[in-house]
Chains A and B, each alone.
Chain A
C-alpha cells in the first residue's frame, strides 16, 4: 500500500513506462517536430516582417489555408467532448480507457486552431482590441467567447479526471524531485477519501453536461463566420449542424488515429482493444453517413434551385477547378472510409482472395502503375498527356480507375483480417478528406466572382505550407509531451470500470 491508499498495479506498467524513461525514438520525434516548427517560426517571422503579402492570398481570396487549418483543428477538438462527455452521459462504459487521449486532443487542437487565427491576422499585435472594442454583433466575437469558454472547460475537464492519477504518480517511487513537486501541486492533496471522490464525481458529472452545449456552440459559431455572409456556398442555414457533424466526424477520426499510433508505440494493446476500434469505427461510420447526408442536402438543394452563382460554384466543384479536390474528398474521404469501417461485416470480401488477378504481387504492381498514372495526370494535366502519348484522356482515366479499383479490391481481404488496421486507415483517410473539405468550403466561395470578372486564383506559398506543417507538428509535439508527463490512459477510471471492459482486458492479457 502506498500512502495514498492506491495499490500498485503491474498491468499498468505500459502506461507508466513512457513517463519514466524515453527511448531514442522519442528524441528523434521531438527533434524532427522541433525542426518543422523552427521552419514554421522562420516563415511566420518572414510574414510578420514583410506582411501577409508573402502568402498566396489576395484581395479576392483573402482567406486560405490558415482559415482551413483553423476550421480543421477546431473540428478535431470535438474528439474529447464526444468521447468523454457524450459517451459518459449515455453511460457507455467502454469509453473509459480512451477518455484521456480524447480530451488531450481537444485541448491541444483548440490551442493550435486558435493560434491559426492569430497567424491569419494582418495586425496580430492588435489581438486584444477584440476584447477592448469587441462588438457582440460580429460572429468573430461569438467565436472568441465560445472558443475561450471551450478551452477553459476542456482544460478543466482534462484536469479533473487526472487528479487521482496524479496522486498515484506523486506516490510513485524513483521520481525526480521537480517532477514529484509538479505532481504534488497538481494532485491538489488527493487522498482518495470518500468525500473527495464524491466531489470529483460531481465535478466531472457537471462538466460532462456543461461541455456538450459549449462544444456544439463552438463549431456552430465557426460555421456562422461563413454562414452569416452573403456569399454563395456559405450563406446556408444548415451550416451550423453541417459543421458540428463534420467536427465530430473528424474528431472521431483524430482519436482513432491517435489511439492507433500510441497503441503501437506504447504497447497499449491491453487497454485499447480491437473492441474499442470496432465501436469507434461504428461511430465513425455513423457520422460519415450523416456527413454524406448533409453534403448531399447542401449541394442538391442549391443545384436544383439553380441560382446563377450557386450553379457556377457547384460546377467548379463537380467538374471545374476544384473537382479534383472535391472528388478526392468524396471518394477517399467519405466513401472509402465507409467501406473500410464496414469490412468486418462483408464476408464477400474473403472471396476476392480466390481471384488470381488480385493476388498481392499483381495488385502491388497495379497500385504502383496507378500512382504513376495519377502523378502524370496531376502534374502534366490530361490534355498534355493526350498530346504527348496520343492516348485519349478518357482511356487514361479509365485505366487508372480500373487499376485503382483492382488494387483496392486486392487489399480489402488483407484489411479484413486486420480490423484495427482498417479502422485506423479509415480514420487517416477521413482526416485528410476533412482537411480537403474545409479547403473547398473556404476557397471556392471566395474564388467565385462577385462582379463581372473572372474566377480568382489562389496558390498557397511556402510560408503558408511551412506554417501549416508547423501547426501539425506543434499539435503532435504537445500531444507527445503530454504523453511523457501524464498517463494517456485514465488508470483509476479503468480500474473502477464495471465488469465487461476489465474482463476483456484480463482476457487479452491472458
Chain B
C-alpha cells in the first residue's frame, strides 16, 4: 500500500518547461494576492466594528437619551401618535409611535405604546449596507434619507416592526416647503426611503421634550418620561425624577430584552395599577393562570 508521500506520481519532481509558472506557484501567487488585497478591508472592518462596539455601550456619548413609558398610566387615547404625525408631518399616516391593545389576561387589558426602541445594539444599524441608518452623537438612531437606497433590510431586521417605508411619493404640504432637510428632521419626506421615530432629535437638540411626551402630559396621563441616562434624570414634563428610581418603582422591563438589542425605551409594569388602588373600570380579576408567562 502506498501512502500519498510514497506515491511515485506525486513524489517525483515533474519536468517543468522553462519560463512557465507551475500550478503551485500560480496558486501561491493567487492566494498571496488575495490575502494582500483583503487585508486593508479586514482592518477597516475590524476598526469599524470596534468603533461600533464602543458606541453600542453608549457610555462614551455625551448624552444617552432614554424614554420610559408607564403602562399603568397609559389609557390608549393614541394622542401621542397623532401629535407625532403632526410634529413630523408624517406621510401616509404612518405610526411612528404605535399604540397596541394587549392584555395579560382577559380582565387585565392594557395599552402599549411602541416607538422606535433606539437600541444600543441596533439590528437595523448593523445591517444597513450604506450606513444610512446610524446612531447620532447622542445615541439616537436616525435615518439619512439622502443616503437610504430603499433596500428595506432594516425593516426586515427590526424586531419591533417600528419602521415604515414611503411606498409612493408623499403628498407635500406648503408647510413642508420651508423645512430644511436633515436626518434629525427629515422633511420633506420622499419616496423610496425608510422612516421611523427619531426621539424628536430636532426638539431635543433645542432642549425641548418629544412631541408624544408633551401631549401625554397635557392630557393628564403623564405616561411618558424622557431624559438622559448619563445624568440619571428623567422628566414627564410635570416632575423630574431619578431614572433609577422610576425604573425601580415601576418594576421596569425592556421590550424583548432577551434579544440583546439593549433598547433605550423602558416600560413600567401595567399591573402596578393594583397597587395604586382598585381599578374601577373593570371587575376585579379572578386569579387565573392562562396564556404564556413570557408575554410582556
Q: Is the CB of A202 within 8 A of B26?
A: yes
CA distance A176 to B103 in the complex (A): 77
Known contacts A133-B130, A135-B129; is-contact A450 B192 (Cβ 8 Å) = no
Q: How many residues of A contact B (CB 8 A)?
A: 51
Q: Is the CB of B112 within 8 A of A452?
A: yes
B237 interface contact, C-beta 8 A: no
Q: Is the CB of B44 within 8 A of A136?
A: yes
User: What residues of B have a CB within 8 angstroms of the CB of A138 in the complex?
Assistant: 126-129, 153
Closest residue of A by beta carbon distance from B42: A136
A495 interface contact, C-beta 8 A: no
Q: Is the CB of B156 within 8 A of A136?
A: no
Q: Is the CB of A308 within 8 A of B294?
A: yes
B76 interface contact, C-beta 8 A: no
Closest residue of B by beta carbon distance from A127: B149
User: What residues of A have a CB within 8 angstroms of the CB of B167 in the complex?
Assistant: 51-53, 55, 57-58
In this complex, the member of A59, A63, A117, A133 whose beta carbon has the largest number of chain B beta carbons within 10 angstroms is A59
Q: Is the CB of A137 within 8 A of B100?
A: no
B217 interface contact, C-beta 8 A: no
B206 interface contact, C-beta 8 A: no
User: What residues of B have a CB within 8 angstroms of the CB of A123 in the complex?
Assistant: 148-150, 192-193
Known contacts A50-B168, A122-B191, A134-B130; is-contact A206 B26 (Cβ 8 Å) = yes
Q: Is the CB of A62 within 8 A of B156?
A: yes
Q: Is the CB of B169 within 8 A of A120?
A: no
B288 interface contact, C-beta 8 A: no
Q: What are the interface flags for B109-134 relative to A under an 8 Å C-beta threshold, 1 for contact and 0 otherwise?
A: 00010100000000100111111100
B257 to chain A, nearest CB (A): 13
CA distance A138 to B132 in the complex (A): 12
User: What residues of B have a CB within 8 angstroms of the CB of A263 in the complex?
Assistant: none
Closest residue of B by beta carbon distance from A138: B129
A126 interface contact, C-beta 8 A: yes
B22 to chain A, nearest CB (A): 9
Q: Is the CB of A122 within 8 A of B130?
A: no
**Size class of B's contact patch?**
35 or more
A130 interface contact, C-beta 8 A: yes
Q: What are the interface flags for B70-100 relative to A under an 8 Å C-beta threshold, 1 for contact and 0 otherwise?
A: 0000000000000000000000001000101
B290 to chain A, nearest CB (A): 14
Q: Is the CB of A135 within 8 A of B160?
A: no
Which stretch of A227-235, A286-294, A374-382, A478-486 is in the interface?
A: A227-235
A459 to chain B, nearest CB (A): 15
Known contacts A133-B147, A138-B127; is-contact A122 B165 (Cβ 8 Å) = yes
B49 interface contact, C-beta 8 A: yes
User: What residues of B have a CB within 8 angstroms of the CB of A388 in the complex?
Assistant: none
Closest residue of B by beta carbon distance from A135: B131
User: What residues of B have a CB within 8 angstroms of the CB of A325 in the complex?
Assistant: none
Q: Is the CB of A129 within 8 A of B165?
A: no
Known contacts A52-B165, A57-B167, A135-B128; is-contact A206 B23 (Cβ 8 Å) = yes
Q: Is the CB of A121 within 8 A of B48?
A: no
Q: Is the CB of B123 within 8 A of A229?
A: yes
Q: Is the CB of B152 within 8 A of A446?
A: no
B248 interface contact, C-beta 8 A: no
A373 interface contact, C-beta 8 A: no
Q: Is the CB of A62 within 8 A of B152?
A: yes
Q: What are the interface flags for A436-461 relative to B under an 8 Å C-beta threshold, 1 for contact and 0 otherwise?
A: 00000000001001111100000000
A359 interface contact, C-beta 8 A: no
CA distance A225 to B154 in the complex (A): 11
CA distance A446 to B164 in the complex (A): 14
A191 interface contact, C-beta 8 A: no
**A-B CB pair tally, cutoff 8 Å:** 147
Closest residue of B by beta carbon distance from A202: B23
CA distance A452 to B267 in the complex (A): 15
A63 to chain B, nearest CB (A): 6
Of A58, A130, A230, the residue contacting B259 (CB under 8 A) is A230
CA distance A138 to B147 in the complex (A): 15
Closest residue of A by beta carbon distance from B94: A59
A498 interface contact, C-beta 8 A: no
**Contact residues, A30-66 vs B (CB, 8 A):** 50-55, 57-60, 62-63
Q: Is the CB of B168 within 8 A of A53?
A: yes
Of A54, A122, A210, A225, the residue contacting B150 (CB under 8 A) is A122
Of A137, A139, A202, A226, the residue contacting B52 (CB under 8 A) is A137
Q: What are the interface flags for B142-185 relative to A under an 8 Å C-beta threshold, 1 for contact and 0 otherwise?
A: 00000111111101111111011111110000000000000000
Q: Is the CB of B161 within 8 A of A52?
A: no
Of B126, B132, B261, the residue contacting A137 (CB under 8 A) is B126
Q: What are the interface flags for B257-281 relative to A under an 8 Å C-beta threshold, 1 for contact and 0 otherwise?
A: 0010100000000000000000000
B10 interface contact, C-beta 8 A: no
CA distance A122 to B194 in the complex (A): 9
B45 interface contact, C-beta 8 A: yes
A265 to chain B, nearest CB (A): 39
A254 to chain B, nearest CB (A): 27
CA distance A57 to B164 in the complex (A): 12
User: What residues of B have a CB within 8 angstroms of the CB of A198 in the complex?
Assistant: 20
Q: A122-B152, A453-B161 are in contact. List 5 more A-B contacts (CB 8 A).
A: A52-B167, A137-B48, A228-B157, A229-B157, A451-B100
The 14 sampled A-B contact pairs (Cβ below 8 Å) are A51-B168, A54-B168, A55-B167, A123-B150, A137-B45, A140-B153, A198-B20, A228-B126, A230-B159, A230-B261, A231-B156, A308-B292, A451-B100, A451-B160
B interface residues (Cβ-Cβ under 8 A, vs A): 20, 23, 26-27, 30, 41, 44-45, 48-49, 52, 94, 98, 100-102, 112, 114, 123, 126-132, 147-153, 155-161, 163-169, 191-194, 259, 261, 292, 294-295
| Minimum-distance CB pairs A-B, first 7 | A122-B150, A122-B192, A53-B167, A53-B168, A140-B129, A51-B168, A452-B102
A interface residues (Cβ-Cβ under 8 A, vs B): 50-55, 57-60, 62-63, 117, 120-124, 126-127, 129-130, 132-141, 144, 198, 202, 205-206, 210, 225-226, 228-231, 308, 446, 449-453
